[in-house]
Every structure is written in structure tokens, then in C-alpha cells.
Amino acid sequence: MTTRPTGMGFKSDTELASIGCGPEDMCLAQLHYTVLGHLSVAFNYRRISQPEAPDFTHAVIRLSSALDVADEILGRIDQPGKYDPWDEDRGEDARGDWRKNHGMLRDIRDYRGRLVHGRMWMGIQDGQTGLLNFSRIGREKQYIDWRSLAMRSIAHDYAPGHEILEDAWRRVLEYIETSWQAIL
């Protein structure tokens, strides 16, 4: 799909046709690079031993975005020719159609939505370790009313950001690898 090793960039439509490829193939190649880009950024954030709220949030956003794009790839491959390769709205359809039958890791996507759009408490400083703890994925719903933080023991529902990111990272990679192996 690229002009490597002699050049940088992607092949023209004529060059693609000469190797039996077309717009759908180019769309999938670009989506693959996009997944890799999101995972690359998330990889760097997850290596921070004590992430602050902005870094933690950005890592979760990138992991969720990698899931979104991976699901679009899977939807497009599952139903070739159904979605216009240059219509991003159709990409949403490919993603949605895939998720109707294979919706995985919704908890990570929902967590991202709450971090970005909701009233999720951004973190609690651990008095002993000094680490900033965040609610674990799937447990954040219990703390939408911030007053509930003072009313119960939250130790089992909160963890250091790097632990949450490491678990989410592992789950996202496992999902992408397993799904791609099954369909590709």
C-alpha cells in the first residue's frame, strides 16, 4: 500500500490497481495506521508510574479510540463493499454493525465517556503512598454523586492510575489481537 522502500507515502490509485487493490484496501491501511498511532500514544502514557489526571484521561481516550477504529476495521472486513471507504459516517455504521454482534470492552468505552463528558471524580490522593487513585473501570458509576465518596469505603473501587491503565492496555491488545486473528 505504501511506496516503500523507494519512497514515502501511499501508492496512487493507478499503482494500487496494478497490484489488485483499491479504495477499500487503502481505507483499511489508513485505519490500521490509526490504531497503531493511538496505541503508541497510550503505550507512552501507561509507562508513567504516577499519572496525573490529564495523562490518565488522555491514555484512556487513546485506548478507547484504538477500540473504535479497530471495530471499524472489523466491521468493514466483515461486510466488504458495504461501506464507502471515504465516508466517515459509514465508518460509524461499520463500527456499530460490528458491535451489534461482537460488542466487546464496552466498559472501557463507557469509562472514557464518563471521564470526558460526565461528572466522574478525577482522582483521590492516597494519604500513605501519595499516589493519585482513580475509580476502577466498571466501578465509576457508583461515584457519580461525589458525596458517595465520603459515605463508604472506596479502597476496593479505586486504584493507582498505572494499574488501571495496565489492565486496560492488556485487555485492549488482547481484544484487538484475538479479533483480528479471527477475521483477518
pLDDT category at 150 given cuts 50, 70, 90 is low
Q: Is the pTM of this model over 0.75?
A: yes
- Mean pLDDT for 99-107 is 89
Model confidence at 14: pLDDT above 60? yes
pLDDT of residue 88: 83
Q: Does the structure show a pLDDT above 60 at 151?
A: no
* Burial 134-162, CB ≥16 within 10 A → b, else e: bbbbebbeebeeeeeeeeeebeebbbbbb
